[in-house]
Structure formats: C-alpha cells, structure tokens
Amino acid sequence: MSESGARPSEEPVIPPTIVVDAIETDEETPPPAPAVAAPTTAAPTTAGPDLERPGPLALLAAGFVDVFARPRVLLLLVVLSAFAALPPALVVADSADLHLAPLADAPSGPELLRGPIPGRLFQAWEQADPDVRRRAGLTLAPLWLAASWLGLLVCAGWMATARARALRQRGGHGLADFLAGGGRFFFPFLRTWLLGLPLFALATWLVWGRPGAWLMRLLLPPEGDPAFAAGETAARWVENGREIVALLLVFGVEILLDLARAGLVAGGRRSALLALFRGLGVFLFEPLRVLVLVGAGLTFELLLLAVLSALTDAELLPLWSLVLLLPFCRQLCRGARWAGLLRLCLIGRPAAASR
Amino acid sequence: MPTRRWPAARLAARVLLGLSGLAALPAQVPGEGFHLPDRLPAQSLRNANYRIHAELADDGATIEGRLVADWRNPTEEPAGELLWHVYNNAWAGPESFFLRRQALLGGSGRPRSWGGTEIRSVRLLGEDGEPDRELSLAWRPPEEAPGDRTVLATPLPAPVPGGGRVRVEVVFRAVLPPAFRRSGTDGAGGYVHAAQWFPKLGVFEERDGRTAWTCPPYQPLTEFYSDYGVYEVELVLPARYRGRVAATGSVLAEEDGPGPDRFTLRLRAEDVHDFAWTADPDFLVVEQEFDPAEWADPAEEQRVAAALGRPVEAIRPRPTRILLFLQPEHEELGPRYLEAACRALRDFQLWFGPYPYETLSIVDPAHAARATGGMEYPRLITGGARLGGHPRSLSPESVTVHEFGHQYWYGLCGNNEFDHAWLDEGLNSWSQARVLARGWKPSLATYRLLGRERAGAAPVEFPAFPAHDPRALLLLDRWDSPDLRFLPPLGLDLRHPTGLERWLAELPPLSFWPEVVQDPFLRRRRALARDWSDPLLRPTRELIDREMMRTNAYDRPVLVLETLARLIGDTRMTRVMRAFAEEYRFRHPRPEDFFAVVRRYGAGAEYGGGRLDLDGFLRQAFVENRSLDFGIRRLEALPAADGPAAEGSPRWDVVLELRRYGDFVLPVEYRLIWEDGESEDGVWDGRDPWLRLRWTASARRPRAAILDPNDRLLLDRSEENDTRRLEPDRSRTLAAGLRAWIWAEQVLHHAGGRG
C-alpha cells in the first residue's frame, strides 16, 4: 500500500479510517500512477469514524456535485437518451403522417398535445394501421437490452468519475475519462449483471411463482380464507401488496447490484461474485444509510418529474422541451445516486481507494 | 366434411321477400297530424304460471324446491310433451353442452365445484290440484354433448290441445355452483345469486312453418327464452338473509319459520318470463323512489310527445321504487348506481313506454362472485363495479343503464335470444348509448395503477412477447432454454410485468395522451376492425365465435341502428322504437316484426337528395352482410392549363375522386371546403364504383374534402379515408411522434437502470 506525496490540498474527503479488507484476491493490478499526481490517502487514524462520516444526504449531495461537475458527460447522456428513443417515435410519426395528417376534421397538433382527443381519431388511425403501436413498441426490444448494457457503462463512468473526484485526483474528469472509466469497469459490471439475472428470477419466482401463488391461495378466494378476503378491499390490498413487494424485491436486487458495482470501483476489484457479497455486507451493515441515500435520490427524482409535469400541464413549458429536460433530470439523479453509493463504499476503504 | 344448411336461410328469404315490397308502402311524412296508435297491452298472455316453494339450506347453495307449473298452450296445435330448461345443469359436469361448446370456441374455465339440478319427480296434477300420475323424464342432449342435461322432456299422457291447459308438479334439488357465468354463490355461505335455479318451460310456438317447442340446450353464445306468466314464490331462507333479499317479485309477506333461524318470504311477480333472486347477509340495502318530477326533462318530453303525436302527460314516466343491494365496501358507489337507474328509468320510459313494475332491484355482486355481475332478469339486475374506478370511466353507470335497458329489450319484448340476440342486446346497447350520451360526459380511456383507474392512453404499446418466444430475453422478461430434445425445456421468468412497474417505466402523467374521449356510439366502431364473417341475421347460436357474437349482438346493431336513426331522423326513429316496444310488449318479436315496424314508421325519409331506399338499407345491413366503405381517393389542385392566369391570380383545376370500396350501395354526402372557408356540398348516389368531380380554372384552391360530413354513416368501415386535406397537417405528425418519443425515452431510461 503506497503512500505517495500526500499534500494538504489533496486530502481525500473520505474519512481516514482503515478497514482491513480480508479478501483482496480479486483486486486488479493497480494501474500505473498518474504522471502528474498520484492518488493519496491519509494516514490511518484511530479517530471514531461515525463522527466524521458524512450522512447519506451529504453523500447524495456530493453525488449531485459530481454529476454537475461533468456537464459535457451529462449533455452526452441527454443527447444519447433522446437519440436512442427515436426509433419508436419515428414509427409512430411515420404512421401519423400517413393516417392522421391528411384528416380534415381532426384536432391539429397543439390541440392533440393538450386538449381532449376524440377517441374516434385513434380508432380510425388504429383501423388504418392496426399494428402501429405494437410495431413501435417492438422497436424497443433490442434497445431495451442495449439500454441495460449501456446503463452499465454509464454507471461505471459515473462511479469512476466520482471516485476520481472523491480522491481529488487530477485528470480523469473529462468526457474521455468518463468513458474510459466506464470501459474499464464495463466487463466486471457485465458479470454483476449476469449474476443479477438469477436474483431477479428468484425475486420473480418468490412473488409470482409457486410461493406467491400459494400465499395468494391462502388469502384470496376461492381457496383462501373467505373471512379474510371475501371483500374487494382486502383483496385489493393483497393484490397491491403483492405488486409492491415485487417491486421492493426488484429494488433490493438493484441496490445490491449497485453496491456491488460501487464496491468494485471503490476497491478497484474485478470479482463480481465477491463484489456481490461485499455489496450485501455493506447493505446489511448500513441499511439505513443505503436506503436513505437511494430513497432520497429517487424521491428527489420523482419530485423533479412532478414539477416538470405540473409546469407542462400549466403550459409554462412546451411539451417538446421534455424531450431534453426529462433525460437531463433523470440522468442527473441517477448519476448522483450512483456517485453517492460510490462515495458510501469509499468510506473506510482508503487502502483500496488509493489504487 | 359435412355441411349444414343455415337454418335461418328461410327466415332470411322471408325477410328479403318482405323487404322487397317496401317500395309499395305509402310514405309517412312527419307532421302535425301524426298520431302513433297506442297498442300497449295491459298484461301478458300469462300462459306459463308458476307456484314455487323453495328452501335454501344453511350452506347457502342448496335449494330444495317444489314447483307447480300451470301452462296453457298458446298455439292452435296440440302439444304432446313439455320441454323444460334445466340450465343449472350446465354446471353439473364437464359433459354439458355449455362447457363443451365453450371449449370448442376456444374458451376455458369451469366452476370451482360442480352444481346442478336433480329432478326428483314430475307429476301431472288433476283438476283438484292433487297429483294424478307420474310423468317419465327424458333428457334431450344435442349430438355434440350426449351427456348434457339442460333440456328435459316430459311426455304427456294426452296432448294438450291448442288453448288447453296442463298443470305439472316438479320436485327438484338444485345446487348452485360457486359463481360462474351469471349464476352461483360466493362459495362461503354468504352471497347467493339464484338464476336459472328452477326447471322452466320452453316456448311452444310456430316456427319456420311448424309448431314446436323452442327450448335449445344452454350454451355460451346465447342466453334465454321463455313465456310470460305469473310467479308466486315462497322462499324459505336462513335468518342471516332477513331483509337482504333482492328478487324479481314484490314481497307480499315475510314471516318467521318454519323452524328456528329461518324465515319465509312470499313473493309475486306478474307478466315476467323468469324469476331470479339474490341474497347476501352483507347487503347494504338502499331504497329510493324514482320521482319523475325530480328528473323531468321538459325539452325531451316535448320532443317525444311531438314525434308520437301524443300529449306530454301521456308519455311522462311513472314513479318506481328502486332497491339497491350494495356491498358495504361499495357504499360510496350507491349514489352513482341510483343516478344511473333514475336516468335510465326516465329516458326509457319516455322513449319506449312505461316501466310496468312497481320495483327495480339492483344488485351489486359480492367480490367473490363477480361472475354474477352485469346480468338482467325481470325486475332484477346485477351491476358490478370495482373500487378505485375513475369517475369518467362510467362504472357502474354504464352497466346499470345497460342492464336496466334489458327490462325493455329482453324483459318486456321477450325475443328469442338463442337466435336473434341483436334484438335484445343490440337494441339495448343502442338505447344505452343514447342514455349515456344524454346523461354523462363521454368516458375516458384509462389505465390502472395499484387498483386505481387513471385517465390516459399510452402512445405506444409496451413491448411484450408470448411465452417461449426467445425474444423475451431482449426485454429481460424471460429466458427459455433452446430445444435440446434430450433435456426438458427450461424457463425462467426474470420479470413479471405489473401495473406499478409499468407506471414507473412509462411515467404516464408525462408520456401518455392525457384525455382520450370515448363517444358512446363511435366507440362501437371498434367492431369495424373485425372480420364480419356472418350477416346480422344469422342465428346467434350458430355464429363462428364469441368475437362474432359480440359484433353481431352488440356493436354492429348499434352502428346499424344509429346509422338508420341518422338517416331517417330522430322523429321517425322515436316512432319506430316506441311502436316496436309497445306493439311487442309481453310478446316474442322476431326480426321481421322489427323490420315491419321500421318500414311502417321509418319510410319516407329524405336523404341524399331523394327518398331514402329503406328497403335497400335494411336488406344490405341485416341480410346480406355487405360492407359499407366510401372514401376519398384523390384531392388535388393542379395549375390550370388554359385558364386566364392573370398576374398574381393563378387558376386551379380541382379534382376530387370519390370511391366506393365496399359493396353496400347508398347515397353519400360530400363537402368540399375551399381555402377561404366557404364550402360546397353535394351528394353522390354511390352506385358506381367511383366518381370524379372537377372544378376547372377555379380561382380558389380547396383546403379539404369530407365524405359524410354530417356523420350519418356510422357503418362506414374506414373513417380514415372519409376526409382528406389538400396539405397534410404535419403538426399532428409531430405531436404523435413527440408523445411516442417522450414515452420511449422514459421506458429506455427505466431499462438503463435494470440489471
């Protein structure tokens, strides 16, 4: 573990606590130290870490700063989001051009976007081109997988960028470095992605497979306890609860995978399997911090979306502006969450962080 | 492969022959002197009367019953046997015709446990009312389902002559299944909906030149058919149901016993052709009087009175007592049920004559027995609504109006639903649309989130692949192993799409079309997208599938009737429907009866610059399965070749080509709108396959052309080709593309965070 040229101005923001990582076998060979300045860590201290560790909201805020500090990256992602979504839009627009644009007695564009739309219009359109909505949807199928993988690259990029900023490394802040960071961790992330698939399958099976069906049979008619769920209210709660549990499980797996990835970047490691266990460890040891960080990030994102929705409803924003504003807000919030998680994982890992 | 001749071919031929004489009919022009003769009968023939004593066991599903049927032969021919519907046996086992036919039509599902009706004895009663002799029983299954037990024949020792009477006692035991297709219980000893619970006589009538019983086996494409009579019913029920029983009849008395924890309800219903009852210890009973003064609509009263040539006082609705049997958790829906019932009572009485019964019972089915919802029985209807409905989805309003409408079309005009479901469902759906259009804002397209309906429609269909499609892996939905032959196929669901997850992926408040309005008539045009394999007159029970049944029984008649109404005008249509409703009250109308009334009161309307060929319309719409599709093939403005092209004032040769794509021939109106806003109307007789119209050296260019500008031809298959702009409105292209773009961005962003 090298201690090279620590300068007061380059003190890491992470607290100077050393946690001995017992499993170091998955660490990659440390990359060569940057020519200008090497990453540094402070000397170990015995100071109580809890007193100095930033809270989850501070980590999230730092994440936002990390993302805001990379406007070119953000711009790239916004443009990419907009372009990736074009195929279905073009299919729909093409069909509308053929079947909606020539109609004489239909509402014009602005009325279509804002006002009540006569259902007969869509009915006529659907009759003339019955397949358009399905066709447009199907163009998303390959894009869905590509987006999922691209998400890995972006996640790795934000985490690598946040790591560099957290460690106050020089260089490594540009668009190319974002992509390089993303590229460096893409394959380890892809391995976590692959490991995530059985976890998603497990979550799905638990809720929608035999265990879930068994529970539903216990609770709901016809086989279930009629005294419990004879009414619609109880049945709705059970059904809604099932959906919510399913979503929470999926969120749980996502958080676990994100923590694993943050651990990979924070520690400069390569083993996806061990990273998953480490992520689980972090989650189990600090569930509140993780949940508050992620939850606050999501809440903030939803708030932003609600504001955008209200502004467009009030016609203070043109609808077309959402094409750019929505990806901007969402990429910003997602990037901040990832950066915040990375910082969370960096805490107490100066040794790994130094690499 | 054996082929079957369409049994209704003769009927179709008769209808055709009947229609061919239409031209000779004198036209009746609406005017001051018109007066619709009052043909409202005071009561029905009452030739099938029942006295029933029934006891419901504590299990809330088993009924021990004894009935005495007093039947009078309404024909002139003798009846050598009696035929009974025992439709509760459709749930007696998998061998029933209903379940076999359902499987044949691609449907599935069966009751959670079997029910059925056991006939213990059938005895002929003497003049003194005492049993005279035991009758033999013979089930009459169709060839397709030899195990079916839904039609029972009881040969009589001596035929009942025309006009003669016979009294028969039937002892039976019925077990109602857990709710399945219109009848049953909640399976927990609570809610019980007793429909088709007792053996009921079929209809002995003249049909296709011979007199016979019409009593087909119960099957999934159709419903019921029976004779009118008086029902005196004595129900013995467990005490938990006291005060919570909805029934076809009026309550005459309610007494304790026999035995502890039981009570007896005496009910009577006159001039009905069925008797159903529903009980639930949890019912919240709300009673309200329909007060015609409170719901008066003077303008509509004046219009109807003028159309019928009757004084307003003669057509005003009568008061009716509404009994609403609600599930407690649906208490908030009570006012909406009642408003719908009141609006329906007002409009139906105004349009189709008085509602002759003192009560209307509306049942809100228990959650565990929702399959019994949305059904009609005389004086009793079942609604059905879910919690969390959007106010503009018109639930429970729509179903309440529809089921109430069946009091007229099925109840008072008791057509044969096996053969001509369009006569009840179609007329009723049309009437329902009229009531909805007058009473409520049009419904909105909705989606559900955590059991709550929200307004909005997705611009793009969320991608999905069927099971075992390897492409599902692209969406991270499911992984299926390739077929290795030596290994059983493996499959893993990676994701289960839920409303909540979809909401997070799509963000409907930002990406959906927010308000898509569904007109109650025009939404029926969805049927035009289907393949119309069968003409409207083909017997319902012989239609190719359920889809065709839905088309021919519900959507298509609405389009035909509304097109007819818009062609002949509201005044004539009001007379047609009123005359049909009054003339065939308490009778069994057939299609030719309806056509005769249409011919009598609808003829003479002016349309398309001449008198409407009503005969041709009815023939093409009902008998011949023709497709109506007019379209604008071309609208162009070409620079005039030899016009006086003065400086700054170019001239145009305008070409408008109209095309008849279908084989339904009817005049069609068109409108050319010039760029300065002026318009020019015309009529094309529609006989030739196309028509080219030219305006040479016009100083103006057209902006658009519209076919059928007054929206009369709802039957037109493609609305999209009915209008054409000279210059397309690209702002719509952008609007549609923008919605889809925003939607796709959100979905892909969601995908970017998955895995």
Task: Tell me the pLDDT tens digit for each residue of A323-344.
Answer: 999 999 999 999 999 999 999 9
For residue B428, tell me if it sits in a domain: no
Which of A 89-128 lie inside 8 A of B, CB atoms? Answer: 89-93, 95-97, 99-110, 112-113, 115-120, 122-128
Residues B618 and B659 in one domain: no
* Token pair listed for B22: 């239409």
Residues B31 and B61 in one domain: no
Q: Could you give the CA distance from residue B126 to residue B661 in angstroms, rounded to a whole number? A: 66
For residue B307, tell me if it sits in a domain: no
Residues B541 and B675 in one domain: no
B251: pLDDT strictly greater than 60: yes
A351: pLDDT strictly greater than 50: no
CATH of the domain at B685: 2.60.40
Could you tell me if A209 lies within 8 Å of chain B, comparing CB atoms? yes
Residues B595 and B714 in one domain: no
Whole-angstrom CA distances from B176 to B56, B108, B116, B164, B240 are: 10, 20, 7, 34, 18
Query: What average pLDDT does this structure show over B59-72?
Result: 97
For residue B569, tell me if it sits in a domain: yes
Residues B73 and B159 in one domain: yes
Q: What is the pLDDT of residues A189-242, one digit of tens each?
A: 999 999 999 999 999 999 999 999 999 888 876 666 666 666 888 888 899 999
In degrees to the nearest 10, what's the CA dihedral of B83, B85, B91, B92? Answer: -30
B435: pLDDT strictly greater than 50: yes
For residue B331, tell me if it sits in a domain: no
First to last CA, chain B: 55
Do the bridges between strand B380-382 and strand B359-363 make them parallel or antiparallel, or are there none, so unpaired? parallel
- When mean pLDDT is compared across A48-57, B220-229, B294-303, B499-508, the lowest value belongs to A48-57
Q: What is the pLDDT of residues B127-161, one digit of tens each?
A: 888 888 999 999 999 999 999 999 999 999 999 99
- Chain B residues whose CB is inside 8 A of the A134 CB are 461
Strand arrangement, sheet containing B630-639:
B630-639, B652-660, B690-698
**What is the per-residue pLDDT for A51?**
44
Q: pLDDT grade, residue B181 (50/70/90)?
A: confident
Q: B511 is in which domain, residue-wise? A: 451-457+497-515+728-755
CATH of the domain at B128: 2.60.40.1730
Which has the higher per-residue pLDDT, B646 or A353?
Answer: B646
Q: pLDDT grade, residue B705 (50/70/90)?
A: very high
Tell me whether residues B501 and A320 touch, CB distance under 8 A.
Answer: no
Residues B538 and B508 in one domain: no
**Domain extent listing, chain A:** 12-29+41-93+151-215+250-353
Nearest by Cα to B634 from B690, B676, B595: B690
**What is the per-residue pLDDT for A223?**
65
Q: pLDDT grade, residue A31 (50/70/90)?
A: very low
Q: Which of B251, B281, B311 is the last residue of a domain?
A: B281
Which of A 6-65 lie inside 8 A of B, CB atoms? Answer: none
Q: How many Å lie between the alpha carbon of B285 and the closest alpha carbon of chain A?
A: 17
Q: pLDDT grade, residue B108 (50/70/90)?
A: confident
B363: pLDDT strictly greater than 80: yes
Q: What is the pLDDT of residues A4-28, one digit of tens each?
A: 433 433 334 444 333 333 333 444 4
Supply the DSSP string of B655-694, one letter for each residue: EEEEEE-SS----EEEEEEETTS-EEEEEE---SSEEEEE
Which of A 275-334 lie inside 8 A of B, CB atoms? Answer: 305-306, 308-309, 312, 319-320, 322-323, 326-327, 330-331, 334
Which of B 98-127 lie inside 8 A of A, CB atoms? Answer: 112
Could you tell me if A249 lies within 8 Å of chain B, comparing CB atoms? no
**What is the per-residue pLDDT for A171?**
61
For residue B389, tell me if it sits in a domain: no
Q: What is the pLDDT of residues A71-120, one digit of tens each?
A: 999 999 999 999 999 999 999 999 999 999 999 988 888 888 888 999 88
For residue B322, tell me if it sits in a domain: no
Interface test with B, best of A79, A95, A97 (most B CBs within 10 A): A97
Chain length of chain B? 755
- Closest residue of chain B to A209, computed from CA coordinates: B493
Share the mean pLDDT of chain B: 92
B83: pLDDT strictly greater than 90: yes
Residues B695 and B662 in one domain: yes
Residues B146 and B254 in one domain: yes
A168: pLDDT strictly greater than 90: no
DSSP annotation of B72: E
A1: pLDDT strictly greater than 70: no
Tell me whether residues A232 and B749 touch, CB distance under 8 A.
Answer: no
Q: pLDDT grade, residue A149 (50/70/90)?
A: very high
**What is the per-residue pLDDT for B353?**
97
Q: pLDDT grade, residue B470 (50/70/90)?
A: confident
Tell me whether residues B733 and A133 touch, CB distance under 8 A.
Answer: no
B408: pLDDT strictly greater than 60: yes
Residues B664 and B598 in one domain: no
Q: What region, left, alpha or beta, does residue B541 occupy, with left being phi > 0 and alpha being psi -120 to 50 degrees?
A: alpha
B6: pLDDT strictly greater than 50: no
**What is the per-residue pLDDT for A306?**
95
For residue B91, tell me if it sits in a domain: yes
For residue B211, tell me if it sits in a domain: yes
Residues B274 and B216 in one domain: yes
A249: pLDDT strictly greater than 50: yes
B196: pLDDT strictly greater than 60: yes
In degrees to the nearest 10, what's the CA dihedral of B662, B665, B666, B667? Answer: 90
Interface test with A, best of B479, B733, B747 (most A CBs within 10 A): B733
**What is the per-residue pLDDT for A34?**
40
Nearest by Cα to B409 from B385, B436, B381, B389: B381
- Chain B residues whose CB is inside 8 A of the A200 CB are 476, 494-495, 755
Q: How many Å lie between the alpha carbon of B252 and the closest alpha carbon of chain A?
A: 32
**What is the per-residue pLDDT for A170?**
64
Q: Which residues of B209-283 form beta strands (DSSP E)? A: 210-214, 229-238, 245-247, 250-256, 262-272, 277-279
B207: pLDDT strictly greater than 90: no
Q: What is the pLDDT of residues B552-568, one digit of tens each?
A: 999 999 999 999 999 99
User: Among partner residues B703, B732, B745, which is closest to A108 by beta-carbon distance?
Assistant: B732
Cβ atoms within 10 Å of A147's Cβ, excluding its own: 24
- Chain B residues whose CB is inside 8 A of the A246 CB are 496, 498, 500-501
Residues B506 and B646 in one domain: no
B27: pLDDT strictly greater than 80: no
**What is the per-residue pLDDT for B3?**
41
The dihedral through the CA atoms of B298, B303, B308, B309 has a sign that is positive
Question: What is the total count of domains within chain B?
Answer: 5
Tell me whether residues B186 and A140 touch, CB distance under 8 A.
Answer: no
User: Among partner residues B450, B731, B740, which is closest to A109 by beta-carbon distance?
Assistant: B731
Residues B538 and B669 in one domain: no
